[in-house]
Structure 1
């Protein structure tokens, strides 16, 4: 009887650990915010930033991946195996900050999935205006008043 109880207790603990529910916000704050700030940077912050703000990053992710599942999968893949070929940020950001280093030794895929879902749902916040939005709007309005996105800068 004791052996059965111990077995059931161990199996229950293993299942509980395997199905751990990660807090994406907390993980983002712990693992990502040391590089990616979560606010619009002040002039002083801009001077010391080591990576683009998460608002801009997610603006570009959503520009390239129209649904949450694809965006989450991209984030997981990119953070684990970054490359210039996969990058969605503007070339100027990559020149300034360099390519993101792999986070394989810093975050698990399960943690990263929770982070990716959290940042997809929360960034950029409503009302956020990326500098490229104004450039794109000007380009589109001068293009026969057509609202189709131009592919000339891709």
Structure 2
């Protein structure tokens, strides 16, 4: 009987530790997301607008919701998407480009930011773009909207 009591106590302690860890994690993620947003606004938003453009002819880069639509289409797993974004913004190339709009805008210049900052930006983008209900203008027009 003492053996089962000891096992039950150990199991309860482990479960209690797990629930504490889970309640603290979202706050950490929220903080990281805020930092990622701040970094995105400082380094990326001047080219990649975050809302539907009123005049597409004035765009200098594709809107971020369209970019992230293509990224998530190719990399639905967050870790893979973050790795792709970090790699691409450090060393953009036509062979890596996922957006057909690279034909219109050309390649972006490489961003020379610390890897941790790029990861925070990429994580923020993955968590927030495209927004709920976003419909890519090319959706339904053939394979991958192209």
Aligned residues: 115
Q: Is the 8 A contact 1:22 1:111 kept in 2?
A: no
Q: Which runs of 5+ in 2 are unaligned?
A: 1-31
> Is 1:25 aligned to 2:31, yes or no?
no
Q: Are 2:119 and 1:109 aligned? A: no
Whole-angstrom CA distance in 2 between matches of 1:152 and 1:74 = 18
Contact kept, 8 Å, 2:36 with 2:124, in 1: the verdict is: yes
The 5 A counterparts of 1:49-88 are 49-88=59-98
What's the TM-score once normalised by structure 1's chain length? Answer: 0.69
Runs of 4+ in 1 over 2 A off after TM superposition: 151-154
From the superposition, tell whether residues 135 and 23 of structure 1 become closer, same or farther in structure 2 (CA, over 3 Å). Answer: same
Structure 1 gap ranges (5+): 1-19, 137-150
Distance 1:116 1:68 in 2: 9
Q: Is the 8 A contact 2:78 2:126 kept in 1?
A: yes
Task: Tell me the distance in 1 between the aligned counterparts of 2:145 and 2:134.
Answer: 21
Aligned to 2:138, what secondary structure does the other structure show?
helix
RMSD: 2.2
* Greater share of residues in helix: 2
The 2-side partners of 1:82 and 1:101 are apart by 7
| Pick aligned residue for 1:119 from 115, 118, 125 | 125
Compute the displacement of 1:87 (Å): 0.6
SS at match of 2:99: coil
CA-to-partner distance for each residue in 1:50-100, whole Å, 9 max, x for gaps?
10000000000001001000000000000001111111001xx11210011
TM-score w.r.t. the length of structure 2 is 0.73
* 1:134 aligns with one of 137, 140, 146: 140
| 2:81 counterpart of 1:100 | no
